[in-house]
Amino acid sequence: MRGSVRGVPGDRHSYRVCARIELSGGKMIKVALIGIGHVARYQIEAMSNVDGLILTDAYDIDPSRAKNLPASVVFHETLQDLISNSKADIFLISTPNMTHFEIGMEVIEKGRSVLLEKPICTTQEELEMIIEASEKKGVFTSVAFHASFAQDVDWWLNNNNGNELGKLLGFNSGFFDPYITKGKVSPISKSLGGSWIDSGINALSVISKFIHPSTLKITEARMTSIEGIECQQVQGLSIFSFKNEGHCGHGVIDTNWSLNVNRKTTRLWYENADILLHHSLESVFRVEGDSAVLIKDLRNNNARLTNHYTSLFVQLTTDYTQGKQNIKHAAMIHELLFSAMSERDQYLVK
């Protein structure tokens, strides 16, 4: 059995599929899913697209959600029963953002391998605890940065031939969701925490595909909350500087829930032209002056998030088999996330 894609149209996975390896003894990697929320349906569909990976077990605090599982999946009544009795190789934690740390620590402490949804925690102290526990137990620990597996990101990484556009001078990443309307937070977003903690990590994971996170420095950050609206950040914005081939570049990440806009984009400023990665449209544009020319439309019959997770799981089959975990890389991304949330940069709108 090989780590490849089953029945997914388009050519977007060609460079990932080339990294196929034989799993030991033809073994399928068994996955246990913790949390059957709104993202789980994309994860379940994506797993069905990937050879070498199979969902075998699941748990959710709400037993009625078991009906959303494939018939072959065993649903466990308690988290403890799942961790103790599941034969899964790896546990995918896909619960509300604020619970990732607690559940992740419980799984790791039991000596089980884990794939944590981002963000894996909400403070620097928790991050250090996860890393320490993972090293102590010697278990595979990785983070599911699904946004960094967007088709447009993957395509541009593999088609920026010879860096013909010159050096990367800067970036502007905007991740906007319509989660606040008429002064109220939508039910689906209450478990996410806030615009920065949920989407800032997505944008950072995308940028880290083009600029190593160790070179990114925060020069200014603003986290805005509104009294009476139950979320940590209505808007989170951070300004960065970085070094690239002797050049000092700059970038901006902006996240916002209050614009009534559902759009995720990253604009990369090169010496000779700009590239717009339109994550929501799964498309790549070349921008010169006031004109934007479509280079590649990568949409297919799958939902955008299904495409993200399909590519992520294909990579997982290789990484898990070879013991390659991204926790150290993930730590650098989370450190930037938390640095931007420092107290001195907090603003409260009354």
Cα 89–93–95 angle (5° rounding)? 155
Distance CA 153, CA 49 (A): 20
SS3 track for 48-100: HCECCEEEEEEECCCHHHHHHCCCCCEECCCHHHHHHHCCCCEEEECCCHHHH
Q: What angle do CA 246, 252, 255 make, to 5 degrees?
A: 155
Cα 147 from Cα 175, distance rounded (Å):
11
Topology of domain 151-302+336-349 in CATH is: Dihydrodipicolinate Reductase; domain 2 (3.30.360)
Per-residue pLDDT of the chain (350 residues; tens, 9 = 90+): 334 333 333 333 222 222 333 444 558 999 999 999 999 999 999 999 999 999 999 999 999 999 999 999 999 999 999 999 999 999 999 999 999 999 999 999 999 999 999 999 999 999 999 999 999 999 999 999 999 999 999 999 999 976 789 999 999 999 999 999 888 888 877 789 999 999 999 999 999 999 999 999 999 999 998 888 888 899 999 999 999 888 899 999 999 999 999 999 999 999 999 999 999 999 999 998 888 999 999 999 999 999 999 999 999 999 999 999 999 999 999 999 999 998 444 454 54
- Measure the CA–CA gap between 13 and 5, rounded to whole angstroms: 8
Domain 14-147+305-325: CATH class, spelled out: alpha beta
What CA–CA distance (Å, rounded) separates 232 from 230? 7
Residue 162: its pLDDT value, please? 67
Beta bridge partners of 302: none
Q: Read off the tokens for 136.
A: 């102590």
Q: Are strands 217-226 and 346-349 parallel, antiparallel or unpaired?
A: parallel
Residue extents of the structural domains in the chain: 14-147+305-325, 151-302+336-349
Q: CA-CA distance, 6 to 49, in Å (whole number)?
A: 5
